Structure 1
Amino acid sequence: MPEFIVDDVRVSYHVHGSGPVCLAHPGGPGVHWPYLRMPELEQQLTMVYLEPVGTGASDLRPDGDYSMENYAAYVAALIRHLGEERVFLLGHSHGGFVALQTSLDHADLLRGVIVYDSMAFNGPELGEQAFKNIEAYVAARPAGDPLAAQVLAAWKSEPSGREEELEMLQRLLPVYFKDFEAVAPRLQEWMKTVDITVDPNRQPALWDIRPRLGEIGVPTLVIVGTADFICPENSARELADGIPGASLVVLPESGHFGHVEEPEAFRDAVLRFVAEH
């Protein structure tokens, strides 16, 4: 796989498709890139899937400093490594944080930013909001429902190490979809792509750019699933309202993975945005 080096840290990436270049940054932090593979976009875009530092085949940061500014610097380094003047940048979830930070720090390298199921802050407030949505999910399920019990137990667990983190993530998957039971039969192969890297030296990375949204001058598309519990619609609307000229697409039949639940609607939204910019 192709890779580049920044300050002795090796970072890997994968290239699929053809057309205008769109760099895709996965979520997590630490979640491996294949879950974000977007074959529908690859038909018209050159999709460059980054394995962020501290993830998959890329190196861990020796100092454990995974700030958004550092992540954005790696994105900028990859764009320069590719020899592209400007690219589109699509960031999902935690990758959306990185995309927003990149739009502040390296706007000259971007044609446009797609902020996909994300928000403008990271920290305790995110977890508190997500837990309220977990409680709402549990309350809406039938009494004694095993999926509700599984999700609640997973959210309250305290995993240690990759195996426990991955088990927690797999057990939480039902709440990441609008209708997991309906979509699960066609997701068996996709669910096998879900993996995570855990760096025990990772330092806390509190982040909040809500006061700076008005500074973003890069064309921005915000995409959110109406049933997303962890990066919900209200946070997406906060982004769209705060970023000058930003547009918002709400996927009515999706949770946190619209490219999986509504791949055609997701594709169309991204390609319209690319065509405009």
Structure 2
Amino acid sequence: MEVAHSLGGLPCLSLGTGPPLIVLLFTPQAAVPAGWGRRYLMRLVKPFTEHFTVHALTRRPGLPPDTTMADLAAHYAGGIEAAFTGPVHVLGLSTGGSLALQLAADHPGLVARLVLGGTAAAPGPICERANRAYVERARRGRRPSPPLADLVTESPIGRTLVAALAWLADGRGDHTDGATMLNAEIGFDLRARLPEITAPTLLIQGQKDLAYPLELARQTAAGIPGAKLIVYPGRSHGATFTDPRFAADALTFLRSP
């Protein structure tokens, strides 16, 4: 059974049994996901709960709008240090992967093993553009998610459909905190610091990822000492996480000696 609580002062959804696995991902609100967001999260992490206690962490609300990725990493590091006595495994997805990379570089003693899905040490140009549009719309009080449709498909019809669904999913909620997190990824580039990451690292990437193109993923894996890259042919950004191979490949890596 999942439990929503505060872990080291950070909103957290915990479930499963076993050693801790920290999951980092983008959430529109600085709170434990609810509704469709909760169901999607549960689908992603359920395979891991047989072997780990999964802790899906989110940020505290009200962070300054100019918060950087390094600021976020320090924010999360404080929560992890308060809750655990030693290094923990970390799974970072998409923008959460950017955060996980920053955490592993800035706070190497906190990360035992690092799994990254659908991410890279810098976002691609489509992701940068979508993030900027999201931030601008959120800060003007508009439903911000439609521009993120550009990350899903290159089909004009598909983008229109996804954008409409994203607009509906936004509802009337406050997305200011979501904008703060995506704003931190604008201009993010950790490639020069990748050699500082000491945790054993696995990166899983879709061949057709529009947000973090495969070449950037290859540069990321090549820059981290001993890192391994797995590529899923034909898979898009979101389809990487839901591919049945994803959890199996990640678990094999996380459970290896």
What residue in structure 2 maps to residue 268 of structure 1? 248
| Equivalent position amino acid for 2:247 in 1 | R
Aligned residues of 1:28 and 1:95 also touching (Cα < 8 A):
no
2:191 aligned with 1:248: no
Q: Structure 1 stretch 192-201 or stretch 78-87: which is displaced more?
A: 192-201
> What per-residue deviation string (whole Å, max 9, x for no partner) do you get for residues 37-91 of structure 1?
32112222211001223xxxxx121x32321112111222222232241111111
Of all paired residues, the percent bearing the same amino acid is: 26
**Aligned pair partner of 1:165 in 132, 144, 156:** 144
> What per-residue deviation string (whole Å, max 9, x for no partner) do you get for residues 177-205 of structure 1?
9xx8xxx9xxx9xx969998324984953
> Which runs of at least 4 in structure 1 moved beyond 6 Å after TM superposition?
191-196
What residue in structure 1 maps to residue 197 of structure 2? 216
Q: Structure 1 stretch 233-242 or stretch 207-216: which is displaced more?
A: 207-216
Aligned residues of 2:122 and 2:216 also touching (Cα < 8 A):
no
| Equivalent position amino acid for 2:144 in 1 | E
What residue in structure 2 maps to residue 46 of structure 1? 53
> Do the aligned partners of residues 118 and 235 (structure 1) sit closer, same or farther apart at CA in structure 2, a change above 3 Å counting?
same
Determine the C-alpha separation between the residues in 2 that align with 1:192 and 1:253. Answer: 27
**Aligned pair partner of 2:216 in 235, 257, 269:** 235
| Structure 1 unaligned spans of 5+ | 54-58, 135-154
> What per-residue deviation string (whole Å, max 9, x for no partner) do you get for residues 231-260 of structure 1?
121111111111110001112242112465
TM-score with structure 1 setting the length: 0.70
> Do the aligned partners of residues 207 and 254 (structure 1) sit closer, same or farther apart at CA in structure 2, a change above 3 Å counting?
same
| Structure 2 unaligned spans of 5+ | none
Aligned residues of 1:89 and 1:99 also touching (Cα < 8 A):
yes
| Equivalent position amino acid for 1:275 in 2 | R
Determine the C-alpha separation between the residues in 1 that align with 2:253 and 2:117. Answer: 13
> Do the aligned partners of residues 267 and 202 (structure 1) sit closer, same or farther apart at CA in structure 2, a change above 3 Å counting?
closer
SS in 2 for 1:257: helix
Q: Structure 1 stretch 211-220 or stretch 32-41: which is displaced more?
A: 32-41
Q: For residues 95-174 of structure 1, what are the structure 2 equivalents within 5 Å?
A: 95-122=96-123, 126-127=124-125, 159-160=137-138, 161=140, 163-169=142-148, 171-172=149-150, 174=152
| Equivalent position amino acid for 2:204 in 1 | I
Aligned residues of 1:254 and 1:261 also touching (Cα < 8 A):
no
Q: CA deviation at 1:163?
A: 5.0
Determine the C-alpha separation between the residues in 2 that align with 1:261 and 1:201. Answer: 25
What residue in structure 1 maps to residue 22 of structure 2? 23
Bigger CA radius of gyration: 1
What residue in structure 1 maps to residue 77 of structure 2? 76
Determine the C-alpha separation between the residues in 1 that align with 2:58 and 2:154. Answer: 22
| Equivalent position amino acid for 1:26 in 2 | L
- What is the RMSD computed on CA atoms of the aligned residues? 3.7
What residue in structure 1 maps to residue 207 of structure 2? 226
TM-score with structure 2 setting the length: 0.74
Number of residue pairs the alignment of both structures matches: 231
SS in 1 for 2:216: helix
